[in-house]
Structure 1
Amino acid sequence: MSGCQASDVTTPPFPAFRDPRLPIGKRVADLLTRLTLDERIAMLHQFAPAVERLGLAPFRTGQEALHGVAWMGPATVFPQAVGLGATWHPELLRRIGEAVADEVRAMRAHDERIGLNVWAPVVNLLRDPRWGRNEEGYAEDPYLTSALATAYTRGLRGDDPDRWRTAPVLKHWLAHNNETRRDTTSSSVRPRVLHEYDLAAFRGAVRAGAVAGVMPAYNLVNGRPNHVSPYLREQLRTWTEQELVVCSDAGAPSNLVDSQHYFDTHEEAVAAALLAGVDSFTDHDQDASKTVERVRGALRRGLIDASVVDAAVRRLLTMRFALGEFDPPAEPAEAAGFDTPAHRALVLEAAEQAVVLLKNDGLLPLSDATAGTVAVVGPLADACRLDWYSGSLIRRSTPREALVERLGAERVVFVEGTDTVRLRTAAEWVRVPDTAVEERAQEGSFNPAHTAGRTDLPPVTLGPAPTDLALADWGGGVLTLCAPSGRYLTVAEDGFVRAAAEQPEGWVVQETFTLERHGEGHLLRHRGTGGYVCVAAEGLKVAAPGGSDGAPEVAETAEPAVFTLEVVERGEDAVARAAAGATTVLVLAGNDPHINGRETEDRTTLALPAQQERLWRAAHAANPRTALVLVSSYPYAVGEAADALPALLWTAHGGQAAGTGLARVLFGDVSPAGRLPQTWYAAEEELPDLLDYDIIASRATYLYFDGAPLFPFGHGLSYTRFDYGDLSVQRIESEAGADALTVECEITNVGPCDGDEVVQIYLGAPGARVPRPHRRLIAHRRVHLRQGETARLFFTVPAEEALGFWDVAHGRWAVDPGTYEIHAGASSADIRRTATITVDGPPPAPRPVLERGLTAADFDSADGITLVDLTKVRGDAVACGDDTVGRLLFRGCDFGAGARTVTVEAARAETTGAAAVELHVSDGTTLATVAIPPTGGPYRYTTVGADLPTPPSGVHDLHITLRGALRLARLGFSG
């Protein structure tokens, strides 16, 4: 801040906003009065400028910190978030959050570009394992996600009640679980799924006071963009008295007009976002001028007034005050760690705890004495992969390196398992110049998508002698080609192909290719640009097209070269040879986090790439002592491997200590205790459509899935065994006066070694009147027990949170009377003990339709419909298209002594065809058919009344059929 300080605002007597003795609210109010309207408007952009006359420094919202400090150069790299989810260990995540906050502060001391408003963690639920950003979330379960997010944000925030270490922002609000057309698709989310599932992932951390705010997602929910979500006001800001900041996602404010076409002008869009509760606009990178002008335009047009700007600025300033920005410098200066021994020990602990043992028929643990020669093979065997939200590695440990360190180089055989190939044109071979590659320091960037590829190395050329290339097939025809130097073939801005990349990376990956059949040979297509490789005078070059969304600009066109592919050796042959000569084989397979499933790209399959399938099969055929270790950002359908192999493990990409952590588990230094944070399905056919967000109707996630998964949620084996003793449950009144369940469970380590067990407490509601989960996680604990040790564990869970559900009939949380089951077990499918608890009370009341009518979106079940926005500001409606018939069911409707008329509130934009709403009761009696006339637009509703010739009385299930394109808002009844 030194460049902006002025003596009159930084030396006693302080202006009120500089006085740390005053409450933050008074300090914020004082500073607001000193700022001009233009200065306040400028603060709404991500890159808020300095206000030199007041001594205010520039401020940037947004420092990525998902699993360590990202994008800003070297930092401690922890396991991917889904790997941290596999630890099931909130206390560990809190310590990781503390370490990341320390590094943020330490890095900021040397680089003012480092931001203290950190955008982490991601709490979007892993509803569908094909989601490209699966690696960024913690779990498919809202309770587990919330518990881990609360712990991580508490670590990031720190324990000081007044001074925050960093200000964490949760991503991404709301119901965001697809990359396919992510800025234009709408997640259709009914109220039960909204309250019980998607909102539940956010509530815990917000209520715990550990969160500075949230970031809305790119998608729409029920037809309305998340950046104008009414739930920011109606839900988020009701969970806490704290001032929460809402930071837009990058480019999303412009999307409201440009891709979503939700508003006609950017002035309308920015006004609507501010009114909905967005405070900080991440748009046009560091250029704030467009956002500033749009806000000014909204003010000029009267779409908002200055009080709306002030409300957003007040929240932003409150966060900055909490970070200590306006306090006198601390004496002595704050001490913060960076790449400390403690952090290195912590990242190793996390890598160990994230390993999940999926199957073990006695092959593991290995021992130093009897392991003999170990063949470590596969594309992940000597890799320490980073992802889009990683920092740069200071240290690294691959599986091969860790095994060599443990056993010695003479006992470790390494084979990558890629195909060794040569490429040639009609006349000459593809040749990679034998040039030394000088390492470059990674300085870090606000946005690494803007970093340039290397152009200082000679291009790949043609010559009389070939270069052997390592070809890895990552599935779906996506290939990488690696030179003997270990560098990947890549393409920079000038379009030339060079062996210059350490690994595939970047917003637009420049290291992937596709071989396409062409006559007797192949065309080599570069996926980053979409262009084909051709032969230029200086070497191989990518011909147009190109230059889209961060891809290199390739202006010239040329005839694509036709290549002949010669296979020198198949990867599976090399693996089989290594496996035959080894005592034990470890096949390391999985994904590269920048390829086939990442931000902007969903997966289309759960299958392991075919080349990797061939590797484990070849290894196992040559040596039955073969274990498959999956290192991946997401689950695979590997049923045949699970049946055939004696051992199967999974870990996410484990950060800088991945290899050492894995080796310590394989050799029994640590008994594995990672647990799956999401269901592993046997095949993608068991999944609903990627865009089907109704987990109740589609029977998705472990909560509702009716099939037999390959590996269930919560699954994970150990090298020791645990017995579960008696389980008891009571319902008591807590100190705060609210009902709570207390669960008591005893557990004993009866196996041969010390180890951790993850005790999982689930609730079931057999015989419930509405569809409830098969069982739902309500508590858990990871506990370490020595051999023979017994522990008695106690859990306390709010009763409504444990037993309740969202009652659409009355628009509130409800706990029905009845008998509930409390389960304790080692996974959602491995239940060891069950206890029951009975809830007394009156039976649930029916829907009071005569008094309240029916809101269409509050149905009990439906098909053929989509939830849409009632208006652009708030509310939901039910929509049906021309070519579909929509059906709604409302259970238990109380018509009293009789309903004689009905009113239907609906909208119909179409002017051709017909549309109608039909009402039936359960015995098939038709109550009425109400025709809906054209209304002139989707938000122009009309109310149409009709008599009910057969007036229903008493309690009935009501069936509604929608025919034709219309939007149904609500129905009213009168006697």
Structure 2
Amino acid sequence: MSAPERLPFRDPDLPLDKRVDDLLGRLSPDERLAMLHQYAPAVPRLGLAAFRTGSEVLHGVAWLGVATVFPQAVGLGATWDEDLVRAVAEATSVELRAFHYHHPPVVGSGATSLQAWAPVLNPLRDPRWGRNEEGYSEDPLHTARLGEAYCRGLAGDDPRFLRAAPVLKHFLAYNNEDDRCTTSSGVRPRVLHEYDLAAFRPVVASGAATGAMAAYNLVNGRPCHVSPLIADELRRWAEPTGHELFVVSDAEAPSNLVDPEHYFDDHAEAHAAALKAGIDSFTDHGEDSATPVGRLREALERGLIDQSDVDRAVRRQLALRFRLGEFDPGLDPYAGIVPEVVDCPEHRALAARAATESVVLLKNDGLLPLSGSPRVAVLGPLADALHEDWYSGTMPYRVTVAEGLRERLGDVVCVEGVDRIALRCRTSGDLLGGTAFDVVEWGDDVVTLRCAETGRHLTAEDGPLAVAQDVIKTWEVHETFRLEVDPAADGDTVLLRGVHSGRYAAVDPDGRVALTAETPETAERWHRELLLDGVGEARAAAAAADVAIVVLGNHPLINGRETQDRTGTALPESQEALLRAVAAVRPETALVVMSAYPYAVDWADEHLPAVLWTSHGGQETGRALAAVLLGDADPSGRLPQTWYRGDDELPDPLDYDVVKAGWTYQYHRAAPLYAFGHGLSYTNFAYSDLRLSTSEPAAAGAVEVAVTLTNAGPRSGTEVVQLYVRALKARYEAPILRLADFRKVSLAAGERRTLVFRLPAERLAHWDVATGGFTVDPGEYEVVVARSAREAVLTAPLTVTGPAPTPRALVGRETRAVDFDDYANTTLTDATRTTGDAVTPTDPTRPATLLYRAADLTGAVGVAARVANEGTGAARLEFHLADRPLAVVEVPVTGGRYAWTTVVADLAEAAGVAGVARVAEAGAAEAAGSVEPAGAAESAGVAGVVGVHDVWVTLHGDFRLSSFHFTETIAEQAFPSC
């Protein structure tokens, strides 16, 4: 055999696909199979190095050691600055290259992976999502724009080689942590295409992304790791780019298909299904390749997959490795990156800029910017602390808020405002840990106990309790506790309970304290001694100052993180009490919320002169906030998601229907505390002269929108000009507003600039369930220039021309059950393990109702439906109009979840069961709630129906419906093509 360096795949002049084919052909079947695991082994005979998928680079290089730490993704989202986000990603990928070349891997063999697992494109539907910090925005367009910028920064500008290979997370409809591996996100077609897919589609279609990661959850009853959407959507979007996506699994998700999801009976079957669905790399069992590769080998031997399935996935991996320069080190333009780029001065400056631009001024009654040389007290548990989140790198240094202000103002008083206590054992009289603890509450009565002398946290990780942890950053957090008052003793007697284990502290015969007690009765009692009143200390500091800056918020690893959703949006009770106590003695108080997600700060908004928000902004957070508080920088951040009011009842976390549930600024009717896009400046901007190039575009056309922006204030500043659209008198439930474009603009005092936006009519489109595609309806719309989703400045009417939509065709055409216009008591589920969706009653004891508006029934004399009934009880299916029944069909037992059969009925026979149908219709109307017809149905007879009607379909009992069609012949069995 020729030397590896002389083989065709080493020839840089050959086309990429030829090189990949040559290398693939030289790999043995076993070598190819081994490449399907995250840790692909080396192939020395061909000169191939070991390859590992995945490095975490969400807002800087993570898990590899000291690296530049930029603001969290949600903070980058608050910048609304694509150029800045791209620059952050570029710096991150440069540092990743430095780790790749110059640092040994933290785990496993081979160099640090240049496949970058970022950005996260899941829109931030629910502010209680534990991983809220990882996304950019609640809006899909905003998410996509910043996501594409981050991808381009990671990938670099070379036309041939990638600096890093961005992988989009997490596909798809993933916004809950509690039971995330077993919960199903119900996503009907409109929500799927207009919201969840809309964040991914533009990024993939642009060619900026090189891969995607499947999500842990299920969508419509089917695990994302075997979703047909990987092929039908993701890969289809990528086809015009000339490069295939390399799709990876999330950690342990392939195993989850069997346990805990129980979707497949055995792992070989599950792994085969994932591979065939489009998973190219299995992140499973850590470095243990033998187990997942063995399962895939078994699948191959059983005929569940064939060699072409393996080759297809390996080919995608090899193509990516070529693009990363692995086989052309002499041509790789990034090969000269040196280790000194990590945390270099340029990256520090960029971190400071990013942190500064991410600060959002939520309220300001004139307190800010601070002027002169005020005496400032910085108070609160985050006043002098910066915390890393799970996907954060190790900060090279930490400039806290107190330190940032101290650098500028000199003497700044800093008080955490937390109690210092001692816990004395009732049995022995000894102090727990032999020390005093500062108690920080993070909500839901969860506290950390930090040694007053060393700053280390009490931990229960290894046996007896110990004061040992400097930084809380582990997958399983063992440093959180609850101090539960003993109801049988005085108020100073408490029980110490570990949050992670749920067990109580007890003392063994040797005097060691450990979390071993399963019940309160067997737990040790502790006398809580108050050594320092934190609120009192903070009040005193505030009273002696001219201004109080109170810094509150969350710890990124506690009460809201990966694997754990938040229970609400309120500030921790002790933090709220501290804020009110400080404001009572110092009215000149500004609240800084430092958090990974929104809080309901209603009281602060009503009573304080200033409120600001920043995400956990990385190493330069303190300098960034000092620059904004003191007026060195104009606050240019704008909210990337809605901040709801405290008394605003949010939808259920598992209700993924943003339209019907009323999620985000697009559909939430109640006025928020702070709207999407909200943020104040220290100057004043005036908008004028809104002009459209045409007021009557065609459905396939475009409009140029021009608006003049003037800095009418006394100082330079930055504004985010937001362009929204809305449909008027829509035939569907249209968004209140929808973001169509935005631009960040900096102007000097008195400067004026005319901005021109190109508005394609497709930005007005909605997903038409009747036709299965995006449609721009003719009719009236409005273009809105706004400061936020709740503060419109200028509006202009727009009329789209074109033919009116035709009625939905239900006769002679199969209609998917999920393509309804409205519904009640309905759950979306899988039709088969590999394809299709179906509907079933959420509660089988109540009818499920589906509404199909404006349907043409002319010529219908019968109906046929595809149903599956496992046999749990009586079931029937009803079709009816607003004022009369059409057909009632008894649903037989089919024998299995995926055992489908066709049931038929003659519409003329409905007259014989009219009484039953009328009773069912009344029940269906009651169950439907908000399900209402779009207009009055035309009068028609039962047999030989004519005209356009709203059609209701009602499911009684525990069965599933996948599709139906009205027939023009009696008892027609066959289903026509769509």
Provide the TM-score with structure 1 as the length reference.
0.92
Pair 60,804 (structure 1): closer, same or farther in 2 beyond 3 Å: same
Tell me the equivalent position of 1:116. 114
Question: Matches of residues 16-27 of structure 1 in structure 2 within 5 Å?
Answer: 16-27=8-19
How far apart are 1:489 and its partner, in Å? 2.9
Q: Using the alignment, how far apart are the partners of 1:568 and 1:130 within structure 2?
A: 35
CA distance in 1, matches of 2:587, 2:770: 58
Q: Is the 8 A contact 1:534 1:558 kept in 2?
A: no
Q: CA deviation at 1:732?
A: 11
Q: Which residue of 1 aligns with 2:927?
A: none
Q: Is the CA contact 1:9–1:54 (under 8 Å) kept in the aligned structure 2?
A: yes
Tell me how far 1:973 sits from its aligned partner: 1.0
Gaps of 5+ in 2: 106-111, 909-941, 969-978
Distance across 1 between alignment mates of 2:235 and 2:382: 44
- Work out whether 1:824 is the aligned partner of 2:785: yes
1:23 Cα shift? 1.4
1:314 partner SS: helix
Instruction: Tell me, in whole angstroms, the C-alpha distance in 1 between the residues paired with 2:247 and 2:409.
Output: 52
Q: Distance in 1 between matches of 2:510 and 2:643?
A: 49
1:535 is aligned to 507
Query: Within 5 A, what are the aligned runs for 1:762-841?
Result: 762-800=724-762, 802-841=763-802
Q: Distance in 2 between matches of 1:809 and 1:545?
A: 60
Following the alignment from structure 2 to structure 1, what is the Cα–Cα distance between the partners of residues 526 and 415? 27
Q: Does residue 969 in structure 1 map to residue 973 in structure 2?
A: no
For 1:22 and 1:393, locate their aligned partners in 2 and report how far apart those are by CA, in whole Å: 43
1:558–1:427 Cα change, 3 Å: closer
How much has 1:684 moved relative to structure 2?
6.1
Structure 2 vs 1, CA of residues 697 and 493 (structure 1 numbering), >3 Å: closer, same or farther?
Answer: closer
**8 A Cα contact 2:506 2:517, kept in partner:** no
Q: How does 1:686-701 map to 2 (within 5 A)?
A: 686-701=649-664
Superposition map of 1:376-455 within 5 A: 376-409=378-411, 412-426=412-426, 428=428, 430-431=430-431
1:505 aligns with 2:466: no
Paired with 1:539 and 1:503, the residues of 2 have a C-alpha distance of: 27
Find out whether 1:37 has 2:29 as its counterpart. yes
Residue 882 of structure 1 and its aligned partner are, at CA, apart by 2.1
Residue 705 of structure 1 aligns with an amino acid whose one-letter code is H
Q: Would the aligned equivalents of 2:779 and 2:799 in 1 still touch at CA under 8 Å?
A: yes
For 2:694 and 2:303, how far apart are their aligned partners in 1? Answer: 55
The aligned counterpart of 1:92 is: 84
1:9 corresponds to: 4
Is 1:636 aligned to 2:589, yes or no? no
Conservation of the 8 A alpha-carbon contact between 1:729 and 1:822: no
* In structure 1, C-alpha distance between the alignment counterparts of 2:430 and 2:501, rounded to whole Å: 21
Change (3 A) 1:513 1:677: same
For 2:67 and 2:183, how far apart are their aligned partners in 1?
35
1:929 aligned to which of 874, 883, 888:
888
Relative to structure 1, the CA distance from residue 538 to residue 674 in structure 2 (aligned partners, 3 Å threshold; closer, same or farther) is farther
Partner residue, 2:155 = 157
Matched, 1:182 2:180: yes
Correspondence for 1:479: 447
Does 2:68 correspond to 1:76? yes
Give SS of 1:347's match: helix
Q: Check whether the contact 1:892–1:956 (CA below 8 A) recurs between aligned residues.
A: yes
Q: Any conservation in 2 of the 1:470–1:481 contact (CA below 8 Å)?
A: yes
Counterpart residue number, 2:523: 560
Q: In structure 2, how many angstroms separate the alpha carbons of the residues matched to 1:426 and 1:533? A: 12
Alignment of 1:523 with 2:495, yes or no, is yes
Tell me if 1:915 matches 2:880: no
Unaligned runs of at least 5 residues, structure 1: 1-5, 433-459, 462-466, 547-555
Letter in 2 for 1:141: D
Query: Deviation digits for residues 587-625 of structure 1, max 9, x if unmatched?
Result: 000000011100000011111001001111111101110
| Displacement after TM superposition at 1:209 (Å) | 0.9
C-alpha contact (below 8 Å) 1:544/1:557 kept by paired residues: no
Task: Work out which of the residue numbers 613, 616, 619 in structure 2 matches 1:653.
Answer: 616
One of 355, 363, 366 as aligned partner of 2:359: 355
2:569 matches 1:569: no
Residue 137 of structure 2 corresponds to 139
Residue among 205, 213, 216 paired with 1:215: 213
Further displaced range: 562-571 or 38-47: 562-571
Distance 1:884 1:175, change over 3 A: same
Per-residue deviation, residues 310-368 of structure 1 (Å, max 9, x unmatched)? 0000011111111010114348942352211111110000000000000000000002x
Distance 2:295 2:263 in 1: 16
Superposition deviation, residue 536 in structure 1: 4.1
Of all paired residues, the percent bearing the same amino acid is 53
Q: Label 1:707 to 1:543 Cα distance change in 2 as closer, same or farther (>3 A).
A: closer
Q: Distance in 1 between matches of 2:185 and 2:478?
A: 32
Name the residue aligned to 1:760: 722
Give the Cα separation in 1 of the matches to 2:222 and 2:71: 35
**Does the residue aligned with 1:254 lie in a helix, a strand or coil?**
helix
- TM-fit CA distance, 1:803: 1.1
Residue pair 2:325, 2:332 contacting (<8 A) in 1 also? no
Matched residue of 1:258: which SS? coil
Query: Which whole-Å CA distance do the structure 1 matches of 2:284 and 2:430 have between them?
Result: 43
Q: How far 1:941 moved relative to its partner?
A: 1.0
One-letter amino acid of the structure 2 residue matched with residue 295 of structure 1: L
Distance in 1 (CA, whole Å) between partners of 2:187 and 2:71 is 31
Letter in 1 for 2:383: A
Within the candidate set 902, 907, 914, 2:863 is matched to 902
Q: In 2, distance between residues paired with 1:661 and 1:331?
A: 36
Q: Secondary structure of 1:351's match?
A: helix
Bigger shift: 309-318 or 513-522?
Answer: 513-522
Displacement of 1:429 after TM fit?
A: 5.0
Structure 1 residue 559: Cα displacement:
5.1
Quick one: distance in 1 between partners of 2:78 and 2:878?
Answer: 49
Is contact 2:451–2:458 with CA below 8 Å preserved after alignment?
A: no
Q: Which residue of 1 aligns with 2:350?
A: 346
What is the distance in 1 between the residues matched to 2:700 and 2:848?
41
Letter in 2 for 1:51: V
The Cα shift of 1:486 comes to: 4.4
Q: Distance in 1 between matches of 2:857 and 2:668?
A: 35
For 1:132, what is the secondary structure of its paired residue?
coil
Q: Deviations over 1:164-210 (max 9, x none)?
A: 00001000000000001100000000000000000011012111111
Match of 1:437 in 2: none
For the pair 1:105 / 2:97, whether they are aligned, the reply is: yes
CA contact (8 A) 1:916 1:963 kept: yes
Q: Distance in 1 between matches of 2:720 and 2:515?
A: 55
Aligned mates of 2:381, 2:966 — CA distance in 1: 66
Q: Secondary structure at the match of 2:658?
A: coil
Q: Distance in 2 between matches of 1:733 and 1:61?
A: 50
- Report how far residue 666 of structure 1 moved: 0.3
Once the two structures are superposed, residues 815-858 of structure 1 have per-residue CA deviations (whole angstroms, 9 ceiling, x without a partner) of: 10012111111101111111122111111011111131321000
* Contact residue 881 and residue 952 of structure 2 kept, 8 A: yes
Amino acid at match of 1:214: A
Question: Is residue 334 of structure 1 aligned with residue 336 of structure 2?
Answer: yes
Tell me the amino acid that sits aligned with residue 515 of structure 1.
L
For residues 538 and 135 of structure 1, do their structure 2 counterparts lie closer, same or farther at Cα, with a shift above 3 Å needed? Answer: farther
What's the secondary structure of 1:414's corresponding residue? strand
RMSD of the TM alignment (CA)? Answer: 1.9
Q: Is contact 1:18–1:27 with CA below 8 Å preserved after alignment?
A: yes
